[in-house]
Amino acid sequence: MARSATRKRSRPVAASSSGSAREEGEARGGVRRSTRERSAIHRFVAGPAHGDVHSFETARFHVVPPNGWHRFLWEMGCSALNTLKYHGELPPPVAPHSCWMLPSSDEMAVRIAEVQPQLAAAGWKTLTCDPALVHKLSNKQRLREHAEQVRASWAHMNGTRG
């Protein structure tokens, strides 16, 4: 308490010869204490490291088929697009450069697994496995059954109980 009583109150300093610093402070409803001119504030806005992050040619990921996610992917700024109109037909489109094709649905995940060699030949990177396993993993009940089978086979191989 005694500390606040001994603290000096700051008084406004006289404005510079132009008077603009004081006028600015008073215009905002506060008191400007400094007589120096204000500098303009410039906000840093991060841009893409190279090229246009939203262009078809520089996207690192293409999520297919289009399902309305494009705006959200675009806002994330992660070099992912959802504008490629590919639904699994052959021949697949040629990749604009070395980029990933990601599924936006379980059905498309199975189809990408089925046509993976053709996608690779067209320049697409994919992360997939056997189509039957992809189909199994898309169903919660079959996923649970698969996990139990894997656990049982692992326990059998290691001689422990699962």
Q: Which residue has the tokens 């046509």?
A: 115
Are 66 and 82 in contact, with CB atoms under 8 Å apart?
A: yes
Reported as a single tens digit per residue, the pLDDT across 42-91 is 665 655 555 554 566 678 999 999 998 888 888 888 888 898 999 999 99
Query: Cβ–Cβ contacts within 10 Å for residue 109, how many?
Result: 19
> What helix, strand, coil percent values describe the chain, rounded to 5?
40, 10, 55
Is there a contact between 16 and 37 (Cβ–Cβ < 8 Å)? yes
The DSSP letter of residue 153 is H
Nearest residue to 122 (alpha-carbon basis) of 153, 158, 98:
98
Alpha-carbon distance of 72 to 84, in angstroms, equals 15
In this prediction the pTM is: 0.58
The stretch 90-105 carries a mean pLDDT of 93
Q: What is the pLDDT of residue 16?
A: 47
104-161 pLDDT, tens digit each:
999 999 999 999 999 999 999 999 899 999 998 888 888 899 889 989 988 888 876 6
Tokens describing residue 70: 């494009």
CB atoms within 10 A of CB 125: 14
Please report the pLDDT score of residue 125 as a whole number.
Answer: 95
Identify which of 38, 45, 46, 93 has the alpha carbon closest to the alpha carbon of residue 65.
Answer: 93
Stronger pLDDT, 104 or 1, i.e. the higher one: 104
Element (H, E) at 24: helix 20-27
CA distance between the termini of the chain: 68
pLDDT 10s digits, 6-50? 555 555 555 444 555 555 555 555 666 777 777 676 665 655 555
Record the tokens describing residue 122, joined without a space.
């067209």
Confidence at residue 78, expressed as pLDDT on a 0 to 100 scale: 84
- Rounded Cα distance, 74 and 59, in Å: 10
